[in-house]
Amino acid sequence: MLRAMLRDLRAHLGRVAMTLAAIVLGVAFVVATWVVSDSAAATVSSGSYRTDLAAVVESRPKTTTDREIPVEVVARLAALPGVTRAEGVREGYAALIGTSGKIGTTSFAETAGTDWDDSQRFALTSGRGPQRTGEIALEAQAAAEAGLTVGDPARVLLGGDRSDTATVVGVFTYRATGWEFDPAVAFDADTATRLLRDRDLPPTAVTGFARIELSGADERAVVAAATAALGAGFRVESGSDLREKQAENARSDGDVIRKALLAFAAVALLAGVFVIANTFTMLVTQRTRQFALLRAVGARRAQVRRAVLTEAVVLGLVGSTLGVAMGVGLGLLAMRLLPVVGEVAYVVSPWAVLLGYAVGVIVTIVAAYGSARRAARVSPMAALRTDATVPRRSLVLRTVVGLLAIGAGAAMVAVTSPEDLTEPKRILAMAGAVLAWFGVLLTAPILVSAVLAPLTRLLRKPRPVTRIALRNAVRDPRRTAATSSALMIGLSLVCAFSTVGQTLSTETTAQISSAVPENAVVLRAAAFGTLDDTAGAAARAVPEVTALAAPRSGGVEVVAANGRSSDTEFTSLDPAAVGSAIRPRITSGGSDLRRGVMLAQRVGTELGVKTGDQVRLRFPVEGDSPATVEVPVTVVGLHEGSDLLRGQLVDDALVPSGVYRYGDSMYAVGADASVLRGALERAFASRPDVLVQDREQLLDDLLEPYQLVLGLVYVLLGAAVVIAVFGVVNTLALSVLERTRELGVFRALGASRALVRQTVRRESVVISLYGGVLGIGVGVLLGGVMQYVILANPVFGMSVPWLTAGVALLGMGLVGVLAALWPARRAARADILAAIATE
């Protein structure tokens, strides 16, 4: 029995190979994901543990600004018993100035400068450490971003608005401890003492150490001694605690990566399940007569079922083995190609291998189970018929469940509303969307007949090729549905994310476009920094500037006359610039900040405050003892808050001194935009930390992160699409095999080889386009719910990503053509004589 089956499998090696390939791809992606996340986690933590640390001392700051340790503390600590070495570490503002004259973005500039020492903090990858003024060493990634290597001259922007030119003498990788950021630039100790300080500290200010690192054989003794010596103003952490914290961080970083990647692997796997199940079904269907013969000669149903399942297990095991091997290879290759500087760890855990096998075998068995049951139900009589088919369960149950899922999902979304979108409701709406998405997968076969069948009638006089292609596509709706569903899975998610991205970027664009005049020049702090007062003064000093909006935000409590209050934000700016250099979106009242405050609409609604009412603004004032200052003010209007103008808008002059506020952008307008821009570029030529841009560039910069994330998402979802494309090839190839006879008749009746190829190609394009249209439609709707859940916009308020949709549709057309290449060639080679011979 089994031997007969296996021999039969061997006789159909081509079909077996196609099933195997589907399993291999699915398994490979899962295993590769696991390997990449293991390796990534290991890379994050590998080799960066320092063994030379007994303890680290930091000051416990009273305020956020004063946290440096006086230099003389080092000598006190060095003298303690058990301490073999005490090393003060400096941190200060430093940023490499690139060829554009502006600073780069790789490092957190506030702490990117440090002093070189020969501890394990630094691991040189080339050159040597800096020894005198005029020499620096660079962190590898920062050096790569600035395009600098050993021997190059480099310009560094420093605190106190100075810049320094030095020669790069070494490139290093950094071993960070605890929460420390990697620095970008290391100076020799003397130069560091002279140059390194916070961004806004004057060059003359005396600076201290950010922390002190202690070495010593007995860690506990060192910690105890240091704690006793320093008292309450300092925090002493042991080296092993720091290492443990760091390992924990690495683990959780690795976990985050793994979870994200596995979500994508799951999607690819789902597409794989469809492909494998479909291929299996075809494999069984094509052997109907063989099963019937087995039954006729006395095989019991259970035996046939078991035989098919055994076949699935064998294929699953073989496919998993190949898939695991390919996945490990792919994963390691991906780690090689990742832009990681320094040591890359390659980890293949037993879990990756086990998971690969589990997935491959279980998925194959699940996929084959239905086929096995159907194969067992083949009647022995079928052996006598030449047109015997495997009995199939009716689609009624599946369709009903699918429609119910769609209905329930839609209802779950519908019961929530944008006005009152709490966390549980967001989850409910998202779950509804996912449920409806599965519903569509279930109803896909009915959809195939419902959509494609009328198409033949719509085309008034279809050429025979088109007619036959369309008819073949709807011939077995399940098969077409499974094939296009696999495509739909990946594609709908691509389109959903694209819709969210598009909506976000449309919103951002609308916000910026309405707030910033088109001819405004935008001044922005580079590298996620902030703009200081001198930048504002410098801009105002440019004669071409007719109005300058320099919004700066901070925290404020708004207290209404009715006693209600709200902890929120304020943004202060020059009243003269409101309406000219920046335009709030006014929802009621006016915008003259000289006469009072503009409340954010949300706050106005929350407090029940209207235009003309009085409110008190309670500002926190910084200082040794926290205090607040209250300012009574009239509400002149309400506005729709935005990222540019956050919270309550007030006159610069209204904000009491000592209130912390910061801004990272300024907007200038003048008579002639290009003249203005030229003037501002000249004025800020000596400010590497300030970018001079127009509105378009600002938008590009703001939208770039979305594009990057979306790009990554597309690449990861690409795996699901690739597997699905493979499914199209599978379906076509097996269909062609199944239709040898009719292809022969078709050829005998006068269809040329080219015509046969064209017929198969059309069928392929029809299936692919159908999957494409379904995927895009479902994806945009899913995206609508996703942006609703994220932004609380109306569901149908999403922006449709026409470009992505167009490209996807074109891509699917192309997929159709490419997937048909081989099956079409096979079909065209059909041997007429063999086809029309009556066995």
Partner 1 sequence: MTNFDAAVSAEDLTKRYGSGDALVTALDAVTVAFGRGELTAIMGPSGSGKSTLMHCLAGLDTPTAGRVWLDGSRHGDAGRVELSGLRDDALTALRRDRMGFVFQAFNLLPTLTAWENITLPLDLAGRRPDQSFADTVIDAVGLRNRLHHRPAQLSGGQQQRVACARALISRPDVVFADEPTGALDSRAGAEVLGFLRRSVDELAQTVVMVTHDPVAASYADRVLFLADGKIVDELREPSADRVLDRIRSLESAARGTRTVGVGA
In the bound complex, what is the minimum distance in angstroms from residue 472's beta carbon to partner 1? 6
Binding segment toward partner 1, per CB under 8 A, in 151-159, 459-467, 502-510, 787-795: 459-467
In the bound complex, what is the minimum distance in angstroms from residue 333's beta carbon to partner 1? 45
Nearest CB to partner 1, comparing residues 625 and 838: 838
Binding segment toward partner 1, per CB under 8 A, in 59-67, 414-422, 464-472, 712-720: 464-472
733 binds partner 1, rule: CB under 8 A: no
Tell which residue, 549, 568, 626, 640, has the closest CA to residue 598.
640
Binding segment toward partner 1, per CB under 8 A, in 597-605, 690-698, 737-745, 789-797: 737-745
DSSP element (H, E) containing 590:
none
Nearest CB to partner 1, comparing residues 12 and 467: 467
In the bound complex, what is the minimum distance in angstroms from residue 452's beta carbon to partner 1? 12
Binding segment toward partner 1, per CB under 8 A, in 462-470, 617-625, 663-671, 692-700: 462-470
825 binds partner 1, rule: CB under 8 A: no
DSSP element (H, E) containing 633:
strand 627-640
Sorted by sequence, the CB contacts under 8 Å of residue 155 that are 6+ apart come out as 96, 97, 163, 164, 165, 688
836 binds partner 1, rule: CB under 8 A: yes
Q: For the chain, what is the radius of gyration of the CA atoms?
A: 34
Nearest CB to partner 1, comparing residues 84 and 389: 389
In the bound complex, what is the minimum distance in angstroms from residue 486's beta carbon to partner 1? 23
Nearest CB to partner 1, comparing residues 566 and 764: 764
Contact letters for partner 1, residues 477-506 (x by CB under 8 A): ------------------------------
Distance of CA 695 to the CA centre of its chain: 26
In DSSP terms, which residues pair with 56 in a beta bridge? 213, 237
Tell which residue, 815, 813, 808, has the closest CA to residue 783.
808
Alpha helices in 286-300 (DSSP H): 288-296
In the bound complex, what is the minimum distance in angstroms from residue 831's beta carbon to partner 1? 10
In the bound complex, what is the minimum distance in angstroms from residue 291's beta carbon to partner 1? 21
Tell which residue, 687, 779, 213, has the closest CA to residue 440.
779
In the bound complex, what is the minimum distance in angstroms from residue 470's beta carbon to partner 1? 9
Nearest CB to partner 1, comparing residues 54 and 473: 473
Nearest CB to partner 1, comparing residues 630 and 742: 742
Binds partner 1 by CB under 8 A, chosen from 177, 285, 288, 472: 472
SS3 405: helix
In the bound complex, what is the minimum distance in angstroms from residue 399's beta carbon to partner 1? 23
Tell which residue, 276, 362, 406, has the closest CA to residue 726.
276
Nearest CB to partner 1, comparing residues 28 and 756: 756
Binds partner 1 by CB under 8 A, chosen from 391, 464, 612, 656: 464
467 binds partner 1, rule: CB under 8 A: yes
CA distance 147 to 154: 10
CA distance 358 to 354: 6
Helix-helix angle 301-337:2-11, to 10 degrees = 50
838 binds partner 1, rule: CB under 8 A: yes
CA distance 832 to 743: 8
Nearest CB to partner 1, comparing residues 431 and 832: 832
Tell which residue, 135, 139, 163, has the closest CA to residue 151.
135
Burial class (CB in 10 A: 0-12, 13-18, 19+), 680: buried
Sorted by sequence, the CB contacts under 8 Å of residue 548 that are 6+ apart come out as 536, 539, 540, 574, 577, 581, 666, 667, 668
Tell which residue, 131, 129, 91, has the closest CA to residue 107.
91
Q: Which of residues 365-404 bind partner 1 (CB under 8 A)?
A: 386-387
Burial class (CB in 10 A: 0-12, 13-18, 19+), 345: middle
Binding segment toward partner 1, per CB under 8 A, in 104-112, 137-145, 370-378, 740-748: 740-748
Binds partner 1 by CB under 8 A, chosen from 741, 792, 811, 817: 741
CA distance 712 to 706: 10
Q: Which of residues 747-766 bind partner 1 (CB under 8 A)?
A: 747-755
- Please, what is the Cα angle at 647 between 642 and 651, to 5 degrees? 110
CA distance 786 to 544: 45
Tell which residue, 471, 491, 467, has the closest CA to residue 480.
471
Binds partner 1 by CB under 8 A, chosen from 396, 458, 541, 833: 833
In the bound complex, what is the minimum distance in angstroms from residue 835's beta carbon to partner 1? 8
SS3 632: strand
DSSP 513: H
Residue 424: HSE in the Cβ half-sphere, 13 Å Cα cutoff: 1
Nearest CB to partner 1, comparing residues 385 and 682: 385
In the bound complex, what is the minimum distance in angstroms from residue 837's beta carbon to partner 1? 8
458 binds partner 1, rule: CB under 8 A: no
Binding segment toward partner 1, per CB under 8 A, in 15-23, 168-176, 351-359, 831-839: 831-839
In the bound complex, what is the minimum distance in angstroms from residue 774's beta carbon to partner 1? 22
Neighbours of 514 (CB within 10 A): 14
Binds partner 1 by CB under 8 A, chosen from 264, 274, 570, 746: 746
In the bound complex, what is the minimum distance in angstroms from residue 827's beta carbon to partner 1? 13
In the bound complex, what is the minimum distance in angstroms from residue 464's beta carbon to partner 1? 4
Give the count of residues interacting with partner 1 (CB under 8 A). 27
463 binds partner 1, rule: CB under 8 A: yes
Q: Which of residues 512-531 bind partner 1 (CB under 8 A)?
A: none
Structure tokens at 393: 């369960």
Nearest CB to partner 1, comparing residues 486 and 732: 732
Binds partner 1 by CB under 8 A, chosen from 42, 265, 468, 789: 468
Which residues of this chain interact with partner 1, rule CB under 8 A? 386-387, 463-464, 467-468, 471-472, 475, 741-742, 745-755, 832-833, 836-838
